[in-house]
Amino acid sequence: MKITKIKTHIVPIQLSSTFKTALREVSHVNVVRVYIHFDNGIVGIGDAAPTHVITGDTEASITSAINDIFGPFLIGRELDEELTILDEMKSLLVHNSSPKAAIDIALHDALAKASSKPLYEFLGGGSPRLETDYTISIGTPEKMVRDAETKVAEGFKSLKIKLGLDPVEIEVAKIRRMNEALGGKIPFRIDANQGWTPDVAIQILNEWSDIPIGFIEQPVKSWDFAGMAKVTANTNIPIMADESLFGIHDAKRLLDEKCCNLLNIKLMKSAGIKEARAIHDLASEYKVDCMIGTMIEGYASLSAAAHFAASAKQVKFYDLDVPFMWNLQGKNLADIGLEIGRGEVLLTEEDGIGISAY
């Protein structure tokens, strides 16, 4: 398979309601869609979501990286199943993990299409039905309780709660109130998005010892590996690395320095599926469980993340709730590549990532 043409365009995606974390507030996203054409007629599709507060990537920088740097390098190149071309491509530009991910996804989509398989089967197989949590964004305690009750009634069996902006007593009380409202029956996954200091994190976590909490995600700044290790050593609640983890070298450092108990793999951070699989394999060696997560992003990258997760045995947690946040008016299965169930996403048996709408 030889690459003959690469095109990009913007896919605007509106959310049903505003989503707020300790890092940002978002009601829509302009996703950069990439189409990679091959000489056998196959077109691989990928997406990059601009999340500048995490990856540093913007709509303009993603578009420029693909059109001005990666595209000219890739056109005319042959593709092999090991995707060795990605290693060469990544060396052309430091960082820029989101445009790299879009191309990686499109190349995996193309290979799976060439094999006439859904991507998850091409990657090794697994269950096409994935039970996801739902993320409750930051709001008043009253609103967060209402949102939690609504989502449980809609069929979600676990909730991810965004915190990181309020004083200690309010952070602690929010989870207590939600737990009481839900009768202590729903496990929480807490995400502070780097919002606490190590000492504040330890103080807060020790207040929740009687609440069903699966893990705490990225309690301190992404660069504070020592702080992460301190929190991990001083709480019985498992700690998950997110913004501290981009590539395989981050993963090894996090695990070697005992900074966390769990890893959150996101394709927009790992520069795509190839590096995500390397992180997953390292986690398997260390016997560390993973979560597959996404940011507020597009249809192609979400579908790719779900396909990767389905094929990855070390992924035990699924944070794939973004499809439940999209305003899908006028969209069909060929647009989004996934079916949306009651608290779960379902992969289709279409080839690749399941998106055929150009």
Catalytic residue list: 162, 266
Distance CA 33, CA 52 (A): 17
Classified as helix, coil or strand, 150 is: helix
CA 45 – CA 129 distance, rounded (Å): 22
Q: Give the strand pairing for 43-48 and 239-241.
A: unpaired
Kindly give the residue spans of alpha helices, DSSP state H, lying in the chain: 59-64, 71-74, 84-90, 97-114, 119-122, 141-153, 168-181, 198-206, 225-233, 248-256, 267-270, 273-285, 299-311, 333-336
Cβ atoms of 62 and 98 closer than 8 Å: yes
Please give the Cα distance from 271 to 97 (Å, whole number): 4
> Token digits for 198?
């190590």
CA angle, corner 54, sides to 52 and 56, nearest 5? Answer: 40
Task: Supply angle C-alpha 208, 225, 95, rounded to 5.
Answer: 120
Q: How many CB atoms lie within 10 A of CB 19?
A: 20
Q: Which two tokens stand for residue 238?
A: 């498992």
The rounded distance, in Å, linking the Cα atoms of 301 and 340 is: 16
Phi and psi for 278 in degrees, rounded to 5? -65, -40
Show the CA angle centred on residue 11, arms to residues 9 and 12, nearest 5°. Answer: 140
Contact 323, 340 (CB under 8 A): yes
> How many other C-beta atoms are found inside a 10 Å radius of the C-beta of residue 85?
17
**262 bridge partner residues:** 240
